[in-house]
Structure 1
């Protein structure tokens, strides 16, 4: 089998161009190219077999080459006569298709070498697709390596819709930059309409573990562009003492920035992000439960004190609906979990008491959906809906598993709750049917992971 096209004496090309001794025309669209059968058969397995067969083309004076454009056809004939060809980003895919059709392994190799040397962040994913389509293993390895090493640049390309889910997962697992994974997944999800349902099986890549009782707030945008994701970390325990230190991590700049410290050092506090402000509520300092609350303006980077809470509290659940900060339950004293609900008007700057929860929720989570707040999970498998406008509670179907200190979020009008201190189960709650279902996907480990995600 012929695999290499070697350079023929230039005289054969000159004879073809002069029309001397040509005995067949190859038709590429509207373009007719005169050739010598012996040259075609001697340099290309496809034509060698054609001219030796009983096919009509073996004796025909003209052969129509379907699916090959005129420009590609002219380049192919030049390659068969000279062994030389001009490969560009524009014609590489057409040449690959033609090399497969005409059994031209040498041409396929030349195109693969060109693609390997010209892979960049703007064509990496299309190159990977071509490598898989035409079974070019070396090119596939190179493209995947480039993807893993330039994950951030590829995120900004217009080719994200070409990335297959298996390649996405492989890239996330290979890339050690945890802070970039959220933006990468978001870009992949919104790059094609049919991908939103795949979040269920990818969400474990968006979980960051809380350390030392500090509170982690993650701000994201899943709209048309992924805009400056930031991580804000504040408080916690440092060398056995409550801390007031705060930091933010800017994904695009790839660096941590120190923020002004809180007025009061604290741990086991709660936080929530709203309208470019970070709110900190309650917590513990030197074994004393706090009634203080603070807010940080992320533009001016100035902290301000809110009026004190009506009573000290830590490990509470927070939600914000219609410019009202709501504080649900928590620990008031001696590890007693309360069912109190307090609301702070962010405009009027005053606290007022709301209807208590149906039950105390030890280690539960709060999420907002359609101007209602849902308290879910916890030690007692709570699921209750609060209607702020009516100041009423509705008890709902309980989760199947205990999710003490398991985080929760809203996705596609459903509530997702993740693991907890005692299990790795992930459950989905459908408010429209008041039912829970278990995911096949599990958390990577048990533990009180916490996060706040703004999507």
Structure 2
């Protein structure tokens, strides 16, 4: 009996509590840094383009609301940089939103900052060396970067036009992945070196995809879902080997969603799945190579922005 109790205690210490949705709620050490969090803003719920923002509690699965954005937006860029959140351009249901607003967690306020040079939506944004980059969009191959002096400048354009792409930073390079070029869904990928300011073609994904989830995680890049041939397929890219490897497929086929890495797991929220907007949440366990359902979003949502700050 003592051996059984000891084993259960040991397992609980190692892997944390198992919740009713079938995913692990990780127990962090007492001295772990718990100040960072997942923030989700904007999007479309099927009837209204959203301004609302939420801060995700990964332990309880709850989504307490926070200060909403000043402008409703979907298909927008959303990143964390310089200890702030940035909501960039997007679509409000009637027209492209040409504003950029930043959120300060200390003051709990959003404020307008410099606008992009090009009007765009359906692009993506990423951060490298505390510099924000945006690339792509409908009929777009251009890129811009944001300077501390509150100014956007054009950078080197990509080799292909990419709408609904994923722009991912691994800390050293930017990767422009997949998308739609106006004729075809893409599997191609190119890498940007911020030092040389040049794009270089890299190994293509196994599947074509646009409006999909992508994240830098465990020194690799993970992609899931999207329009194209990869609606449920997931794969990971190893930059050292320049090689893509299939991983476990996501449980719900979905597109128009985001993938985010946080506290040793990957999270997929909402999107469009099975002919309707979804509120489901899935969590990927890297060691087990397995997806599990978690507590759903506060409401159905697609084309939102998500970032860790």
Question: Shorter-normalised TM-score: what interval?
Answer: 0.7 to 0.9
Cα distance change, pair 444–307 in 1 and its aligned pair in 2 (3 A): same
In the alignment, is the contact (CA less than 8 A) between 1:361 and 1:382 conserved in 2? Answer: no
CA radius of gyration, larger in: 1
1 CA distance for matches of 2:159 and 2:31?
A: 40
Within a 5 Å distance, the mapping from 1:370-385 to structure 2 comes to: 370-378=171-179, 379-385=185-191
Q: Which residue of 2 aligns with 1:324?
A: 131
RMSD: 2.9
In the alignment, is the contact (CA less than 8 A) between 1:330 and 1:361 conserved in 2? Answer: yes
Within a 5 Å distance, the mapping from 1:142-161 to structure 2 comes to: 154=12, 159-160=13-14
Q: Which residue of 2 aligns with 1:55?
A: none
Q: Which residue of 2 aligns with 1:419?
A: 225
2 CA distance for matches of 1:407 and 1:255?
A: 22
Q: Which residue of 2 aligns with 1:262?
A: 69
In the alignment, is the contact (CA less than 8 A) between 1:427 and 1:436 conserved in 2? Answer: yes
Is residue 453 of structure 1 aligned with residue 254 of structure 2? no
TM-score, L = length of structure 2: 0.72
Is residue 401 of structure 1 aligned with residue 199 of structure 2? no
In the alignment, is the contact (CA less than 8 A) between 2:73 and 2:91 conserved in 1? Answer: yes
How many angstroms does 1:318 deviate by?
0.7
- DSSP 3-state at the match of 1:389: coil
Q: Which residue of 2 aligns with 1:390?
A: 196
1 CA distance for matches of 2:226 and 2:208?
A: 7
Q: Which residue of 2 aligns with 1:287?
A: 94
1 CA distance for matches of 2:64 and 2:92?
A: 25
Is residue 247 of structure 1 aligned with residue 54 of structure 2? yes
- Count of residues in correspondence between the two structures: 255
Cα distance change, pair 251–276 in 1 and its aligned pair in 2 (3 A): farther
Cα distance change, pair 401–438 in 1 and its aligned pair in 2 (3 A): same
Point out where structure 1 has 5 or more consecutive residues left out of the alignment: 1-91, 97-111, 116-122, 129-153, 192-222, 332-336
Is residue 348 of structure 1 aligned with residue 144 of structure 2? no
Is residue 305 of structure 1 aligned with residue 117 of structure 2? no
1 CA distance for matches of 2:117 and 2:240?
A: 35
2 CA distance for matches of 1:307 and 1:394?
A: 29
2 CA distance for matches of 1:289 and 1:387?
A: 29
TM-score, L = length of structure 1: 0.50
- Cα deviation, 1:14-55, whole Å, max 9, x if unaligned, reads xxxxxxxxxxxxxxxxxxxxxxxxxxxxxxxxxxxxxxxxxx
- DSSP 3-state at the match of 1:339: coil
- DSSP 3-state at the match of 1:338: coil
Cα distance change, pair 257–370 in 1 and its aligned pair in 2 (3 A): closer
Higher strand share: 2
Cα distance change, pair 370–308 in 1 and its aligned pair in 2 (3 A): closer
- Cα deviation, 1:97-137, whole Å, max 9, x if unaligned, reads xxxxxxxxxxxxxxx8xx5xxxxxxx673377xxxxxxxxx
2 CA distance for matches of 1:351 and 1:127?
A: 52
1 CA distance for matches of 2:68 and 2:218?
A: 36
Q: Which residue of 2 aligns with 1:358?
A: 159
Q: Which residue of 1 aligns with 2:244?
A: 436
Within a 5 Å distance, the mapping from 1:164-179 to structure 2 comes to: 172=18, 175-176=20-21
- DSSP 3-state at the match of 2:221: strand
- Cα deviation, 1:301-335, whole Å, max 9, x if unaligned, reads 1111111111221121111112211001112xxxx
In the alignment, is the contact (CA less than 8 A) between 1:367 and 1:408 conserved in 2? Answer: yes
Which structure carries more relative contact order (alpha carbon 8 Å, separation 6+)? 2
How many angstroms does 1:275 deviate by?
4.0
Within a 5 Å distance, the mapping from 1:6-405 to structure 2 comes to: 93=2, 125-126=8-9, 154=12, 159-160=13-14, 172=18, 175-176=20-21, 181=24, 184=26, 225=32, 227-228=34-35, 230-237=37-44, 240-251=47-58, 255-331=62-138, 337-345=139-147, 347-378=148-179, 379-405=185-211
How many angstroms does 1:444 deviate by?
0.8
